[in-house]
Chain A
Amino acid sequence: GAVVSQHPSWVICKSGTSVKIECRSLDFQATTMFWYRQFPKQSLMLMATSNEGSKATYEQGVEKDKFLINHASLTLSTLTVTSAHPEDSSFYICSARGPANEKLFFGSGTQLSVL
């Protein structure tokens, strides 16, 4: 099946710094990718829909300036957490719509810890 690579798998940063998370579709082109946030033992909350070549669509309550999304190519979307604070600590997961545009394939997630 299609593979989605997410990097890094975990990151620890100081409060006030910015962190970039990458999501790559390895063997297919993904015009649409999704970014989720997951708290321990809780549901995945959709943050935004990333569309190649256009601005991301953010869900209600998600700060666009805080969570910058760039989808500059058909195989790469990035999420940058700007000026991170401890409350941004979470598990971030990306997903990409597969080559047949039917199934969603998920990255392995990034655990962000802000000190």
Chain B
Amino acid sequence: AQRVTQPEKLLSVFKGAPVELKCNYSYSGSPELFWYVQYSRQRLQLLLRHISRESIKGFTADLNKGETSFHLKKPFAQEEDSAMYYCALKGNQGGKLIFGQGTELSVKP
């Protein structure tokens, strides 16, 4: 079964601290994984995807097939990073996205 798990509902850190939002997945095949972000009162938007191996707004995520993880990391959190973060997996049926439960990141001053 295809599943995405984000174990933390809420992650609270202080400004300047490192942050890691956990994501584990279950998928039979080669996964395509994404991180989406939803800022307060805004729509969901793509943050990054593993095939691009990019760094957006200081965030990176590495696909670890051995641990079936795709954790999102940032070395120094900023207050404007406060948002809901969703890990998502692109399924093999019609390209639909399967989302994790989401993690609310709160960066305190």
Contacts and interface: CB of A to CB of B under 8 A. Distances in A.
Interface in B2-56: 9, 42-46
B104 A43 contact: no
B86 A34 contact: no
B19 to A, nearest CB: 19
B97 A43 contact: no
A43 B43 contact: no
Given A32-B94, A49-B94, A57-B94, A43 B45 contact: no
A93 B45 CA distance: 12
B102 A41 contact: yes
Interface of chain A, main secondary structure? strand
Contacts, number: 41
Contacts of B70: none
Interface residues of A, number: 20
Closest 6 CB pairs between A and B?
Answer: A106-B44, A108-B43, A43-B101, A44-B99, A43-B99, A106-B43
29 contacts: A32-B94, A32-B95, A34-B96, A34-B97, A41-B9, A41-B102, A41-B104, A42-B101, A42-B102, A43-B99, A43-B100, A43-B101, A43-B102, A44-B99, A45-B99, A46-B96, A46-B97, A46-B99, A49-B96, A57-B94, A93-B44, A95-B97, A97-B95, A103-B46, A104-B46, A106-B43, A106-B45, A107-B43, A109-B43
Given A43-B99, A44-B86, A109-B43, 9 more contacts: A32-B95, A34-B96, A36-B99, A43-B101, A43-B102, A46-B97, A49-B94, A106-B44, A108-B43
